[in-house]
Structure 1
Amino acid sequence: MMPQENTGVATVLVTAATGKTGHRVADRLTALGHEVRRGSRGGTVPFDWADRATWEPALRGADAAYVNYYPDLAAPGAPEDMRALGRLAAGAGVRRLVLLSGRGEPQAVVAEDALRECGLEVRAVRASFFAQNFSEGALADGVAAGELVFPAGATAEPFVDADDLADVLVAVLTDERPGSSVHEVTGPRSLTFAQAAEEIAAVTGGPVVYTGVTAGAYAGLLTDFGLPAPEARWLAELFAELLDGHNSATADGVREVLGRDPRDFADFAKEAFGTRP
C-alpha cells in the first residue's frame, strides 16, 4: 500500500498540523496533489481539541481527516471526544478517519472504539515511541545538554522514525480500497534508552548519558518546567506504564503498508545529530 496521487481522496483535514507527525503528513499530502487543511489552534484552519466549536467547520466538506489527539488517546475524556468528533465527521460528509494511536495502550483502544461508533471508515495506526522525541520533542533539550532523564529503566523500545510513520499515515489516508483497518508500526530493532543515548553520543562526539528516574520524580521535573501537576503525574505514569517491557517486541506494520523495512535508529541519529556542532 503506497501513497497515492490525488485520484480519490481530494481534501484532507490534518489535525495538530504543526506537530511532529502533522506537518510531515500535511507536507506529503500536498506533494501528492491533495488539498490539505492544516488544522491547528493558531493556524488558518482553526482546530483546537479543547474547543469543540472549531471541529465541525474544519471537518465540513473534507473527504478524510488525520486525527492526532492531544495529549494522548489514553487521556481521561478521550473516548468522549472521539465519539463527538466521529458524529461531527459523519454529519460533515467525511468518509475516512485515520487515527494516530498508541501501541500497547488499552485506554487508547477504548478511544479508538468510541471513534468507530460513527460508522465511517476508521484506520488506526498504533505507533511505538518516536525516535524524533530525542531531537524534536520534550527530551531534545536534555539530549543537547548531555543528559537524558526519563522513567524507562532498562526497558527496550523499538523506536519508530516519524518519517516512516508519516509515510504509513499518508498511505492509509490515500489508499483507494475501502474499509477500516489497524496497523502497528515500530522501528526494526529495540534499544534501551541508555543504548539510544550511546548511539546519539557516537554521532555527536559528546556525552549523552541516560539517567533513569521514577515516575514520581519525573512528574516533579515536568511540574518544574511548567506543566500542571495533575497532567504531569498522569503523563509520567503513562510513560512508566508503557515502558514496562510489554511493548519491547518489534512489529511489521511499516513493511506491511509500505513494502519496505523501517529506518534504523542509527540512521535517524546520523541524520538528526550528524550536522550539529
Structure 2
Amino acid sequence: MKNNILVLGGTGKTGRRIVQKLNDKGHNVRIGSRSESPAFDWDKPETWGNVLEGMEKVYITFQPDLAVPGALEAIEGLVKEAKRKGVQKLVLLSGKGEREAELCEQVVINSGLDHTIVRASWFNQNFSESFFLEPIQSGFVALPQADVKVPYVDADDIADVAVEALIGDQHNGNIYELTGPRFLTFREIINEIGQEADREIAFTAIALPAYTKMLKEHGVPEDYVWLINYLFTEVLGNEANQVITHDIEKVLGRKPKDFSAYVKETAVTGVWNQPVGV
C-alpha cells in the first residue's frame, strides 16, 4: 500500500536519503523545506498547515538539534497541527543521551498518534557533510574530547530504519537506538580518513573554550556554537553514548555499516581532497 509521507528536513543528511528510498518504493513523498513549494519553515508556524495537508505519515528532523532552546515548543506546535490535519503516524529522529531531546520525544509519544522514536548516535557524515568537513579539507583538525570513544552510525542506516518505521506498523510504539558496530575516537577517525584519502591531515587536541572561541572567530552562528558546546560537554562522553546497540540488526536484519566502509565510499567522491569551500 502506498502512503502519503512528509519528510521534514528532506534535503538534509537523513532526509534526502529517506526521500530517495521512499520514492524508489513508489510512495507519494512531499519534502518539507524552505526551498520547496509549499514551503516549510520551523520559524514560521503559519507554513506548517499547508505542508501537512493530505499527509498520512511524517518524518520529523529538527534543525539544528532537538536540544536547542525553542525545539520543544516547535515540536509541540507541529504535533498539534499534525493531529488537526489528520496525520496518522510520526517518526521522530532524536539524539542518544540528550535529555532535552527526550522531552521532545515525550510530546510525540503522548500525542495519541502512531509513532516511532529513532535515537541516533553521532553520524559518520559529520565528517563529510557537516561542520567537521572544512577542517579536514584544510589539513588541520583541532577538536576537544580527542580520545572519547563514540560508536558512530551511518546516515544510510538511519534512513533505512526510518523508512521501515514509516511504512511498517510493527514498529509503532518502539524506541530504536542506533549505533555503529565499534567505538572510535576523533584521533582514530582523522587518521583513517587521511590514510584512505592519501593525504596528510594533522590532528591536535584542544580545550573546549578555545574551540568555541575559534568557531566564533570563524563566524559560526551563535546557536550552532551553543549546540556544539552542549554536545561536547553533555552528550559526547556520557554513559548513554558508551553503548553499542543492535537495533539496526533488529529492524533491518543486517549489521550496521562500519566506519571503514563509509570512509572508503566517501574517499572515492574526492570530497576530502577538495579545497575548502568548494
TM-score range, shorter chain: over 0.9
Q: 1:123 corresponds to which residue? A: 116
**Pair 1:268-2:246 in alignment:** no
Contact kept, 8 Å, 1:79 with 1:112, in 2: the verdict is no
Which residue, 181, 188, 192 being the options, matches 1:199?
A: 192
Count of equivalent residues: 270
Structure 1 residue 259: Cα displacement = 0.6
In the TM superposition, 1:1-277 aligns within 5 A as 7=1, 10-177=3-170, 179-229=172-222, 231-246=224-239, 247-276=241-270
What's the RMSD between the two structures over aligned residues?
1.6
Residues 270 and 122 (structure 1), Cα distance of their counterparts in 2 relative to 1, 3 Å cut: same
Between stretches 96-105 and 198-207, larger displacement belongs to 198-207
Runs of 5+ unmatched residues, structure 2: 274-278
Runs of 5+ unmatched residues, structure 1: 1-6
SS at match of 2:169: coil
Q: 1:168-199: CA deviations, max 9, x gaps?
A: 11111110337321000011001001001111
1:42 and 1:110 map into 2 onto residues whose CA distance is 29
**Would you identify which runs of 4 or more consecutive aligned residues in structure 1 move more than 3 Å?**
228-231
2:191 and 2:211 map into 1 onto residues whose CA distance is 21
Contact kept, 8 Å, 1:194 with 1:209, in 2: the verdict is no
Residues 234 and 262 (structure 1), Cα distance of their counterparts in 2 relative to 1, 3 Å cut: closer
SS at match of 1:98: strand
Between stretches 46-55 and 210-219, larger displacement belongs to 210-219
Q: 2:276 corresponds to which residue? A: none
SS at match of 1:76: coil
1:55 and 1:102 map into 2 onto residues whose CA distance is 23
Contact kept, 8 Å, 1:15 with 1:40, in 2: the verdict is yes
Amino acid at match of 1:258: L
Contact kept, 8 Å, 2:97 with 2:238, in 1: the verdict is no
Q: 1:1-55: CA deviations, max 9, x gaps?
A: xxxxxx15x1100111111111001111011000000110112231111111111
Contact kept, 8 Å, 2:59 with 2:90, in 1: the verdict is yes
